[in-house]
Structure 1
Amino acid sequence: MSDTPEAPPGLDLVRLRERLDRDLPGGVDGELRARLFEGGRSNLTYLLEDASSRRVLRRPPLGHVLATAHDMAREYRVLDALDPTAVPTPRPLLLVEDDAVLGAPFYLMEHVTGTAHRDAGALAALGEPRVRALGLHLVDTLVELHAVDVAAVGLEGFGRPEGFLERQLRRWGKQLAASRSREVAGIDELQERLAKALPDSPPPALVHGDYRLDNVLVGEDDRIRAVLDWEMSTVGDPLTDLGLLVMYTELARRFDGVLPGAALAPGFPSGARLVERYAVGSGRDVSRLGWYVGFASFKLAVVLEGIHYRWTRGATVGSGFDRVGELVPAFVEFGLESLDSPKEH
């Protein structure tokens, strides 16, 4: 019987230990153990522990995947670029781009202690003043991210900001076309109206791509210790991040239990307050934000319709997937409402 601790799926602890001993001499103290963080929807994230330290390992999902969709080097490059900036991120430690160790590329980063708030009850226990301050700090951190000088941190060429919104809308339209199995009232209208009313983007910035409260770690002092999950990051229109954050905040109130619900905690700022804070901090014109909220709603509707499509074909298992399809029209309706707002949110 082996004395080697059991490894979670996707890790080979013996090969990993050999590689770490080679690339980080003396970096592993005693037995190496690992566990998979639950709840990841895409790339897999593991906690690595030895006798004296904790680190985090990220790798692509198991099975055949598109390399461009799970690019470890891309994520690592962002963390490395942001490490000296004011944006709180885990420090990157090691990038392994070959498949010899785990059957896929992976990277290692420092472990950051903090809470990813997903539950409104747990967040509400902080009290309204602290919840309000945390919500505003979330926006201030986004302002810091969008203020990063992309060229100065070595991220020139990281994205294609020219025609960014048009390309994004076209991409999600193709996703919708590939997931069609029924008529969804209003979804084509939403797509057409978004295409006809494309705003002029502000100067490009580093965009997170999925910025929200449960993608940051918060310390005991209610300060954000690390922004996580950079797999969708690029250089593009910064207001897409704000539009997504506002959509998640407002729709959490409509669909408690479906979207991350921490924004339901008493004291968490409204979408309008988040926008106001961002406008003051960034100096950007947010008068067209209704379009960005509508676009975020369209993207989420397409994601949910894709899940529904796979569920109808028996390709998705688990609880709750049978109800996902019921939510899509409501997201479409919210997107249309955002476009109809006189001040565009």
Structure 2
Amino acid sequence: MMPHQHQPWQAPGEASALYWVLVVLVGAGLLAFMLWALYAKLHPRRWTTLGYHALGALVVIMTVFTLVLYIIPANQAQQIPPTARAWDWKPGETIKDPGGSGLEGEPYRGYLVYLANGCTYCHTLYLRPEDIKTGWAEGAKPDEVSQMGDFVHYPFTMLGTQRDGPDLSIIGRKIPDMKYHVDHLVDPRKFKPKSVMPTYRYLSERDLRDLAAFLVSLGNEPQKLRAGIAPTPQPTEDPRVAKGRELYRSAGCVACHSVDGSPNVGPTWKGLFGHEVEIVLPDGSAQTLVADEEYLRESILQPAAKIVKDFQNVMPSYEGRFTDEELQAFIEYIKSLR
């Protein structure tokens, strides 16, 4: 069941009259209590006199403390300007499926469905610089790292903290197809047999459409979607490259090898294939060779046979750990890192 749709106010001027009535009543109550505690006529020889005055002084201090450190700075802070790609959808706004299925949904309501069904437990909505380097931000570019201005229009900032599933910041640009997202939500294992994502077949058709609309809105400029300009989907990727990227993370290669050229315990994979490599043989002699498929396969299965110059022999052997198909997936992924 969907929660009540509520557009939270983001500035004091947007607050309701009831809110300000409550503020005035609470403020007046605090003021009255402070005046009573500080100046009320109490029995001069009662031990409680000092206690009441101390309590009144404490309330004054805490009120001033709150005003100085929180309320005043909050009202004086400049509003963060939104980026061009900032998510900006209002209740009632709809988009049509860029994939051409004819489906239509409300991104704002879809975000509420997303929150209500715990999607934030496994997915995040922000990209960090290290995500580009490690490959977690699949398909993202360095200039797509999240900025504060990307989130200023979100009604609630529940961006997620755990990644049992992929980050969804740009999923709408990668897969601008509501029909695909609906089908994937209903039966995740139809697309990925080993997926741990639960089925959402229990959602109503409207909830599924709206959630799919929200997913399509991620990573796309709202103005273009409103104008009916369909985002260009990313070119189809070789499934072996995708498999190799997945193995790069799951097998722990990410701990020692970068994919962006940055130094690490082991040599970077970026630009490795097809280039000359200086290696040291077990007998101590040096040699220069070209990193072809045979070299990459040997480096995975028998890493001690040829050590890249200036690196230590610390990589374990992966003999027998991977199938021929998985080894080829590794190689295809390394070849893609130009």
Q: Same fold (TM over 0.5)?
A: no
**TM-score normalised by the chain length of structure 2:** 0.27
**TM-score normalised by the chain length of structure 1:** 0.27
Q: Which structure is higher in strand share?
A: 1
